Structure formats: C-alpha cells, structure tokens
Amino acid sequence: MKALLAIPALILLAACSQPQAAQVYDADHLASSDACFADDRAALLEPGQTLIERGPDGAVRIAHALGGERASYEFFVSQMDETPRQALDAAAADFYRAAGQQHDVTTDAVIYHRATDGTFCAVVRDEATGRALVDAAAAIPAGE
C-alpha cells in the first residue's frame, strides 16, 4: 500500500526535476522589453529595435538602436506647432500600422506594453519600420 502512495510522489518529483524547455512566445508567454517606461530607453533596446511610447502626460517618446547608433527623442504634442505635430502623428500612425501587420504572439518582432496610467509602448524589431519613425523624429526642429 505504501508503494502505491509513493508512485504519485515519484511522478511529481520526476516532472518537477525535468529541464525546462525554452519558452515560446504565445498568449501566455508574451515577449517583453525592459526599455518601455525606463528612464534611458535607448540604452535598453536590443540592436535593431525602435520604440514609441505615448501617455496621458502628452509626451511622445521615441528611442532606437539602429545602425550601431542609439538615440532618444521626446516631444510634448500640446506644445508643438501644427506642422511638426502633424508630421509626428503621421509617422507614429505609420509605425503603429506596420507594427500591427508584423505582430505575431509567437515571436518578439513586435512587443506591446501598457502601464496602469494608460501609457502605451510599442517596440518593433524591423529596421525599416523603425528607421521611418526615427527619421521623422530627427527632422523635427529642436525645441518642438
């Protein structure tokens, strides 16, 4: 009888001691990025990634690690002139549209995060998608 009770315990012990398989990204194991909501976003991005973050504070934050360079931009849209604000909004919309087309829960090609305050962050690995956003941000005059 004691041997019968020991069998389930041995099965449980064997299952718990098996090496863990690498987690595949899926709905239960989504990709994540430490760069979202960090102070130095660009430093925490992996090579080839671009980030955009928008929140209730009215700021648009863009960071990248493209072509061996890293940079960050911050814009407060309520303080921007109309023309650069429209250019930024158009570039952000294109970025989000491309990210939506590339998103696949089985990869880390696109990572989405939302903070409890409503801030939304998207990180995209595709360099062409990121470059278009970064070029638009870099073209906005300083002080905007």
Tens-place pLDDT, residues 63-81: 999 999 999 999 999 999 9
User: What's the pLDDT score for residue 28?
Assistant: 61
Please tell me the distance from the alpha carbon of residue 143 to that of residue 73, in angstroms, as a whole number. 11
Token readout for 140 is: 């906005």
Residue 99 has pLDDT above 70, yes or no: yes
First to last CA, the chain: 78
For residues 117-139, give the mean pLDDT.
95
Q: Is 73 left (phi over 0), alpha (psi -120 to 50) or beta?
A: beta
